[in-house]
Structure 1
Amino acid sequence: MSVFEGLINKIKSVNWEFETKESQSQMRDMKWLIFNVPKEREQEKLSISDGNKQINEIFDTNFEKYRLIKGFEGIWSKDLKSIECEIETGVPFSRNLLSVLDKLLAEDTTKESISDVDEIQDNEIDEENESSISMVRVYTSNNIEVNFGYCSKELAVFSSLKSMVSLDRMMGRVITLQIKGIDVSTHEEALQYLLKISNSLFFQISHYLYFPMKLRNERINRRDRVRHHLKVDEFQSPLSNSVILKYEYDNEPMSLYIHGRNSSDLPLNQFLSFYQTIEYYFPIYSNIEAKQKIKRLLKDPLFDPNNDTKLTKILSIVQANRSGEIGDERSQLKATVKHCIEDMDLREFILENVERKEYFEKNNGKKLSACTINVKGKNNDIVNEVCERIYDIRCRIVHKKANGYDGEMILPYSSENKYIKHDINLVEFVAQKVLIDNSRPLNLSR
């Protein structure tokens, strides 16, 4: 029996859905095993070929005994009583991270607390001196162990098949939080234990290290990535320096926009970054709208400055909020978008992409917001509908009152995140238009 057939038997033993396919290349015929790994109530589709150089190493693992943790780059096993999740720190010395943690979590501090550990100095964190430590014990009691260490082969298998990163690059590099000897029988239990332990541990550690630690959000499966195959000749005309360096933009909103563009692995942060780009210009456009409304009232031949009712209308228009801006946030968003985007531009953007059109047309994102966008309509106020939806999602992310009621919060690992891609594209498009509307000719003399 070949190793490839052995992998099939492993997957059969746990009743995972799978299929096999064959493909031809110039070098050889290739067999593919495509299988679905359980992830809460969903499944993650992965694949491996019989030509994979590390197929023997993958076969020698117990990957079939694990399930994926939804929302995080983690795994759990009922049979092996194990939970494991990759961590990230946002700093480039991950290879030396275990040495830092080993010093911080000294043996005599793990039982009760870590309050007496001295603060680690900058010169003790040296990327050039790789750590020889492979595991740091954090906690042990009643047969339960909590450790920091290099990732298991099983987690490396799933991560490498999703991201196309080799096992070799995962092993000995990726640091994980490992919980062993824990009785878990459901995904919900595994997730709750992971969050409870990591929240407590990371909060304590944050008092002594200057960098943050957090669980890594799940990697985007290569099957789900949007690939753009563009060639230079597909553009109507080549870009030139005179076009690229023609306009300048305000630094603050552009920084937010760029942050959003670079936060694809954090969809909720990405949405908020684009929203905040738009929000930067609220005072400008809300004031413009207020001025226009006041002008219309004052020009009315029937306007009577001695009529309290008429004066009350003016007061309601100029009523400032706590930030000194005119109008509530929803009305400010609408005022800004209406001044920067034409109805036709919004319709074209939604309709130009088949998936995006279907998403809004069939209301596939109703889990994110009850506010719909009428794609088929021609006379509806699409700008108003887009603003209502963007504002509603924004409120659910930051847990503010939306549409007069307390909406449920959208959490980073919630199921709603799988639907948010097209709403992110929409709010990014709006942010682009607002930035363009507020750009000005580039001036390098000042």
Structure 2
Amino acid sequence: MVVRGTEPAEPEPGAALVERVPEDSNDDRIDGAVVQSTVGAPEDQDERDEAREELRDHLASSGLNFEISEDPFDDIDGWMVEVWLADTHQEFRSFYFFGERRFLLAEHSLSDIIPLHNYDGFFDRSEGLIEVRLGADTPGAFSFVRQRLRVLGGQMRFVRPDGCTMKLGPPSEVHSLLSGSHSLSLTIEGVRVDSSNADELIELLSDSLLIELDMKYNFRFELRRLQVRPTAMVSRPRRLTGTEGPFDFPANKYSHEAASLYRAGRHQTTPPLIRYWALYQVLEYYFPRYAREEARRRTALVVRSPMFNHHSEDHLDQVVSSVLDSPGGPQGRESEQLEAVLRSIVSERLLFDFLEESGLAPFISDRNTELSEYPVHQKVPDPIKALAKRIYQIRCRIVHSKSDARRDHGPSLIPGTRHDDLIGLELPLMEFLARRALVAGCESLDVAPSD
């Protein structure tokens, strides 16, 4: 359930349309302040049972929404803890605690901790600070930080005369407890902040710091965003991929160019907008093929007619027009070529089956989305045409910069902003269509065996 307002309400687990989860990464561990219990986890079963009841009392007295439930993967005492915290937009996020981390909860108060809405971090209301996890895509960046931390006593501090402070270093105990990560974190304190501006403030200050670190040291650090995905989404519906049975030697030959674009679109560390653009290019790769098919179809309708007269100028003009007006002809538009590809690789029934099974139907049918003014649902006159318009409009908003954005396509979509969240919801659809295009355009794999 999405909760809005000034006071958090009791959450209903499993009712939300979307969930926000930390993105996967291969960030290096930054040694330092790692969550350590001051008393150690109880070893005796009776002590563990007693600690469980003490934890329940601690969470209840903190006024937190929580649930202690069975954990079939815990072979010691078989339970886990789920805590719901209202984020800076008053939407609830779930935090799960397994194993020994469950008992560490009793040593920390989370009543003043407000998770950030867009990033893997939090605002501490009692301390007046923001802490967020950082990632890096530059080899050696974390090694550099480790060396600097050793020299500087564990933290890199950047302090303004008025007291505004930014710190790079190991995560705090609370951050490690919530995220389970021991990667580098950025902490901001000594500034006027509350839950209403925490996300915007971390963006403002981190942009300045991280860009200058990039310029000076060529190290590209970034705030770790939360991935937004439908709660009903499954990564690969079994019915659509046929995972049953053994995996045989491949029989299909795929275009190397299209396959490379597909892999780029599937790269999880690439910003969602760039992934969307790469997957669009998979479809674009097949434009000429399906445009020619459409041109042949239109031409055949003219020349195969019993009434066709090759001596007639009017009839010959019809042939020329059928070629010029086809999606791949000189007068054909890119959106029409996209539509021709979509019609060749997916039916309306298959499209809506996928949207329902993946949990995307509520999002792609919404006319009010920031992504596109073209909704796709079963009540539109031509769903495939609507889908082509939607995808093409999003493509144009990604490609066109602010200075040359066309009015008919709307404002630009910018990587590293909330637009990544919106695009991320539609990536499974583009992956599905790209796979359909790859399969439809494949040939027989013919490799000569050795003598």
Query: TM-score surpassing 0.5?
Result: yes
Give 1:147's match in structure 2, choosing from 159, 167, 181.
167
Q: Give the 3 Å change call, closer, same or farther, for CA 200–311 of structure 1 in structure 2.
A: farther
Give me the whole-angstrom Cα distance separating, in 1, the residues matched to 2:107 and 2:442.
58
Does residue 84 of structure 1 match 2:135? no
Q: Give the 3 Å change call, closer, same or farther, for CA 254–311 of structure 1 in structure 2.
A: closer
The question of whether the paired residues in 2 share the 8 Å contact of 1:275 and 1:394 is answered with yes
Give me the whole-angstrom Cα distance separating, in 2, the residues matched to 1:348 and 1:226.
13
Query: Which TM-score applies when normalising by structure 1?
Result: 0.70
Give me the whole-angstrom Cα distance separating, in 1, the residues matched to 2:84 and 2:235.
22
Residue type of the alignment partner of 1:179 = I
The question of whether the paired residues in 1 share the 8 Å contact of 2:155 and 2:169 is answered with yes
Single out whichever of 11-20 and 52-61 deviates more from structure 2: 11-20
What residue is the counterpart of 1:48 in the other structure?
Answer: 97
What residue is the counterpart of 1:106 in the other structure?
Answer: none
Single out whichever of 300-309 and 397-406 deviates more from structure 2: 300-309
Give 2:201's match in structure 1, choosing from 158, 170, 193.
193
Structure 1 residue 399 displacement after superposition: 5.7
Structure 1 residue 193 displacement after superposition: 1.9
Structure 1 residue 411 displacement after superposition: 6.1
- 1:239-291 deviation digits (Å, cap 9, x = unpaired): 222xx2x2221222212212322327854443333222112222333344345
Tell me the SS of whatever aligns to 1:206: helix
Residue type of the alignment partner of 1:260 = G
Residue type of the alignment partner of 2:96 = S
Structure 1 residue 33 displacement after superposition: 4.8
Tell me the SS of whatever aligns to 1:141: coil
What residue is the counterpart of 1:70 in the other structure?
Answer: 117
Give me the whole-angstrom Cα distance separating, in 1, the residues matched to 2:147 and 2:78.
48
Aligned-residue CA RMSD (Å): 4.4
Structure 1 residue 53 displacement after superposition: 1.3
Structure 1 residue 201 displacement after superposition: 2.1
Give me the whole-angstrom Cα distance separating, in 1, the residues matched to 2:234 and 2:345.
28
Structure 1 residue 185 displacement after superposition: 1.4
Tell me the SS of whatever aligns to 2:111: helix
Give me the whole-angstrom Cα distance separating, in 2, the residues matched to 1:134 and 1:224.
42
Single out whichever of 297-306 and 35-44 deviates more from structure 2: 297-306
Give me the whole-angstrom Cα distance separating, in 2, the residues matched to 1:134 and 1:225.
41
What residue is the counterpart of 2:107 in the other structure?
Answer: 60
Structure 1 residue 58 displacement after superposition: 3.7
Structure 1 residue 420 displacement after superposition: 4.9
Give 1:285's match in structure 2, choosing from 282, 287, 290.
290
Q: Give the 3 Å change call, closer, same or farther, for CA 183–13 of structure 1 in structure 2.
A: farther
Structure 1 residue 142 displacement after superposition: 0.8
What residue is the counterpart of 2:253 in the other structure?
Answer: 248
Listed as ranges, the gaps of 5+ residues in structure 2 are 1-48
What residue is the counterpart of 1:430 in the other structure?
Answer: 433
Give me the whole-angstrom Cα distance separating, in 2, the residues matched to 1:240 and 1:439.
17
Tell me the SS of whatever aligns to 1:404: helix
Query: Which TM-score applies when normalising by structure 2?
Result: 0.69
Q: Give the 3 Å change call, closer, same or farther, for CA 355–307 of structure 1 in structure 2.
A: closer
Residue type of the alignment partner of 1:152 = S
Give me the whole-angstrom Cα distance separating, in 2, the residues matched to 1:56 and 1:80.
23
Q: Give the 3 Å change call, closer, same or farther, for CA 271–222 of structure 1 in structure 2.
A: closer
Give me the whole-angstrom Cα distance separating, in 1, the residues matched to 2:137 and 2:199.
23
Tell me the SS of whatever aligns to 2:126: coil
Residue type of the alignment partner of 1:186 = S
Structure 1 residue 10 displacement after superposition: 6.0
- 1:302-358 deviation digits (Å, cap 9, x = unpaired): 89648999799579637989xxx763321121122223334454344345x274566
Q: Give the 3 Å change call, closer, same or farther, for CA 53–235 of structure 1 in structure 2.
A: closer
Tell me the SS of whatever aligns to 1:383: helix
Q: Give the 3 Å change call, closer, same or farther, for CA 260–133 of structure 1 in structure 2.
A: farther
What residue is the counterpart of 1:441 in the other structure?
Answer: 444
What residue is the counterpart of 2:224 in the other structure?
Answer: 216
Listed as ranges, the gaps of 5+ residues in structure 1 are 103-129, 161-169
Structure 1 residue 435 displacement after superposition: 0.8
Residue type of the alignment partner of 2:410 = D
Residue type of the alignment partner of 1:193 = L
Matches within 5 A, 1:30-49: 30=79, 32-48=81-97
Structure 1 residue 376 displacement after superposition: 7.1
Matches within 5 A, 1:123-272: 134-160=154-180, 170-171=181-182, 174-187=183-196, 189-218=197-226, 226=234, 237-241=245-249, 244=250, 246-263=251-268, 266-272=271-277
Does residue 17 of structure 1 match 2:18? no
User: How many equivalent pairs are there?
Assistant: 390
What residue is the counterpart of 1:414 in the other structure?
Answer: 418
Q: Give the 3 Å change call, closer, same or farther, for CA 344–61 of structure 1 in structure 2.
A: closer
What residue is the counterpart of 2:279 in the other structure?
Answer: 274
Give me the whole-angstrom Cα distance separating, in 2, the residues matched to 1:222 and 1:26.
31
Q: Give the 3 Å change call, closer, same or farther, for CA 273–70 of structure 1 in structure 2.
A: farther
* Identity over aligned pairs, percent: 19
Single out whichever of 71-80 and 176-185 deviates more from structure 2: 71-80
Give me the whole-angstrom Cα distance separating, in 2, the residues matched to 1:58 and 1:349.
41
